[in-house]
Amino acid sequence: MSEPSTVSRARKLEIDPVTRVEGHGKVTIRLDEAGKVQEARFHVVEFRGFERFIQGKLYWEVPVIVQRLCGICPVSHHLAAAKAMDAIAGVDAVTPTADKLRRLMHYGQLLQSNALHIFHLASPDLLFGFGAPAEKRNIVSVLETFPEIGKWAIFIRKYGQEVIKATGGKKIHPTSAVPGGVTQNLCVESRDALRRDIEQILSWCLLALDKLKQIVAEREAEHKDFAYFESNYLSLVGANGVMDLYDGTLRAIDSAGGVIFDGVEPCLYREQLIEEVRPWSFMKFPHIRSLGRDQGWYRVGPLAQLNCAASIDTPIAEAERRLFMNIGAGRPVHATLAYHYARLICLVHSAEKIQQLLFDDDLQGDDLILSGQRRGSGVSCIEAPRGTLIHHYEVDERDQVTRANLIVSTTSNNEALNRAVASVATTYLSGQEITEGLLNHIEVAIRAYDPCLSCATHALGQMPLIVTLEDAAGEVVDRKVKQ
């Protein structure tokens, strides 16, 4: 794996997606003198502002504040911060009721967010094809053309939100995870209401997975080769490498599946990961310390979650995992579009986990919050829908946060996003023409990893893009705005 960022200043193609979720994103593709793609840079104005913003805040406020940094996976930030603050509050293990309540909330979040990603954002590309006209590639068209899939989209997502509400009081921004535990248990009425529908939800998740497998089979080459490259992977895993999206230790594997590190407690993440800052991007470039900057970049998210896990502890998802891993024939699966396939397996796993938890009586327990000997720092790790999320805080004796460091999944996938865009541009750019096809394919590549940059608008069928093509002297030779 080589460093893709050698700069040549012949022409510059700039793609400027306007976003309401993570701030302003922008893609710059640099061409060399011969007009070939030299490199891609994916810029996001994101979380370092938040890291400063919460300095001085009192530590118990943080789980509620940080979830506002993301509109799609607020619960992941809420829980990651609460887990880090457990450590600050001197609590190494919360009560079984608190642990399972948080897990249930987390799997509710995974269900709703993965459903949003798959159905609302990615399914138009997958169902209509990447070259389909913009007016077709949106959820409204999906609802019209495939009403059955539209139904899954709406009800699976809604169910996930109901799980969040039942465990956290609110569908979007719950406040129930506090340092040392949770503030409420799951009432019997909510539990029974959720139990009534979970079979149906699980069966729809399975139908969606079958549909995707069918699409993959029909368009095998595209799904194998689109923005393909190999990489390392990072994920949390539970004991014995079992998939655990809520808690566990860090495992990293290389492109052949060999273990780079394993069993790393989240609090020791800095021994294994370095966050490099590059002057042209607000986003950090994390990489694996032992492999260095050029070789050590890695991918996170559903594909990494599956590649890193030795098994899954829910039966249907485990059977599907085995089928999925066959694609790699003993090696990890590397295709960019395999992210969606992996995401659907995680969706099924989340539904199965919710089903298991709803039949666990610990959820009605009354032992909710513990306290212990205050500490000065806390680190936590969780597998958010888009991948590994690390929260690290330092708190002074006055209870105020003095330092915060967040490594979010988009940041970890930074290099991969650059590579995916570069790969697509290499294939689909011809001459100095910024074509609709090129834009579509770049959207598809970004969306495989992360919908956040375009979700709010793509849901209506549009991803605003400002595309600027500059010549060697920096003059604009072409500019397109896609509404």
Partner 1 sequence: MNGQEFFFTVDGRQVRAEPGQTIIAACDAAGIYIPRLCHHPDLKPAGHCKLCSCYIDGRRASACTMPAAPGMVVISDNEELNNDRRVVLNMLFVEGNHICATCEKSGDCELQALAYRLDIPSPSLPYQWQRYEIDASHPDVFIDRNTCVLCSRCIRASRDLDGKSVFGFAGRGLGMRLNIDAKAELDETTFSAIDKAAKICPVGCIVIKRTGYRTPVGLRRFDVTPIGSDIENKSGAKPK
Residue 132 CB, nearest approach to partner 1 (Å)? 38
Residue 255 CB, nearest approach to partner 1 (Å)? 42
Alpha helices per DSSP H over 241-381:
269-272, 292-295, 302-308, 315-326, 338-358
Q: Tell me: does residue 377 bind partner 1 (CB under 8 A).
A: no
Nearer to partner 1, 65 or 132 (CB): 65
Determine the angle formed by the axes of helices 338-358 and 315-326, rounding to 10 degrees.
170
Nearer to partner 1, 104 or 309 (CB): 104
Of 386, 467, 421, 480, nearest to 121 by C-alpha is: 386
Residue 360 CB, nearest approach to partner 1 (Å)? 20
Gap between the Cα atoms of 446 and 418, Å rounded: 9
Query: Is 381 marked within a binding site?
Result: no
Residue 175 CB, nearest approach to partner 1 (Å)? 5
CA 130 to chain centre: 21
Query: Is 73 marked within a binding site?
Result: yes
Per CB under 8 A, the list member of 168, 301, 385, 451 interacting with partner 1 is 168
Q: Tell me: does residue 173 bind partner 1 (CB under 8 A).
A: yes
Nearer to partner 1, 63 or 296 (CB): 63
| DSSP, res 120 | I
**Residues in region 391-410 near partner 1 by CB under 8 A:** 398-400
Gap between the Cα atoms of 163 and 158, Å rounded: 9
Gap between the Cα atoms of 328 and 348, Å rounded: 21
Gap between the Cα atoms of 269 and 392, Å rounded: 10
CA distances (Å), origin 10, targets 14, 36, 250, 431: 13, 10, 42, 13
With CB under 8 A as the rule, give the number of residues binding partner 1.
Answer: 23
Query: Is 22 marked within a binding site?
Result: no
AA letter at 293: R
Residue 398 CB, nearest approach to partner 1 (Å)? 4
**Residues in region 211-270 near partner 1 by CB under 8 A:** none
Query: Is 455 marked within a binding site?
Result: yes
Query: Is 51 marked within a binding site?
Result: yes
Site string for partner 1, 354-373 (x = CB under 8 A): ---------------x----
Secondary structure of residue 197 in the 3-state scheme: helix
Nearer to partner 1, 183 or 255 (CB): 183
CA 310 to chain centre: 20
Nearer to partner 1, 175 or 356 (CB): 175
Residue 194 CB, nearest approach to partner 1 (Å)? 17
Secondary structure of residue 274 in the 3-state scheme: strand
Per CB under 8 A, the list member of 4, 108, 160, 174 interacting with partner 1 is 174
Per CB under 8 A, the list member of 52, 170, 278, 322 interacting with partner 1 is 170
Site string for partner 1, 175-194 (x = CB under 8 A): xx-xx---xx----------
DSSP of 47-63: THHHHHHTTTSBGGGHH
Residue 98 CB, nearest approach to partner 1 (Å)? 13
Tokens for 46, please give them: 């994101």
Nearer to partner 1, 168 or 451 (CB): 168
Stretch that binds partner 1, among 171-179, 267-275, 278-286, 327-335 (CB under 8 A): 171-179
Q: Count Cβ neighbours within 10 Å for each residue of 345-365 and write b for 16 or more, e otherwise.
A: bbbbbbbbbbbbbbebebbeb
Q: Are 125 and 137 in contact (CB under 8 A)?
A: yes
Nearer to partner 1, 64 or 198 (CB): 64
Stretch that binds partner 1, among 33-41, 163-171, 247-255, 312-320 (CB under 8 A): 163-171
CA distances (Å), origin 69, targets 161, 309, 453: 18, 29, 13
Strand order in the sheet with 37-44: 37-44, 25-31, 11-15, 465-470, 476-482
Q: Are 190 and 363 in contact (CB under 8 A)?
A: no
Gap between the Cα atoms of 27 and 43, Å rounded: 6
Residue 107 CB, nearest approach to partner 1 (Å)? 20
Residue 401 CB, nearest approach to partner 1 (Å)? 10
**Residues in region 409-468 near partner 1 by CB under 8 A:** none
Site string for partner 1, 28-67 (x = CB under 8 A): ----------------------------x-x-xx-xxx--
Residue 60 CB, nearest approach to partner 1 (Å)? 5
Ramachandran sector of residue 248 (left: φ over 0; alpha: ψ -120 to 50; beta: rest) = left
- Known binding residues for Mg(2+): 51, 406, 458
Residues that bind partner 1 (CB under 8 A): 56, 58, 60-61, 63-65, 68, 168-170, 173-176, 178-179, 183-184, 369, 398-400
- Known binding residues: 51, 70, 73, 406, 452, 455, 458
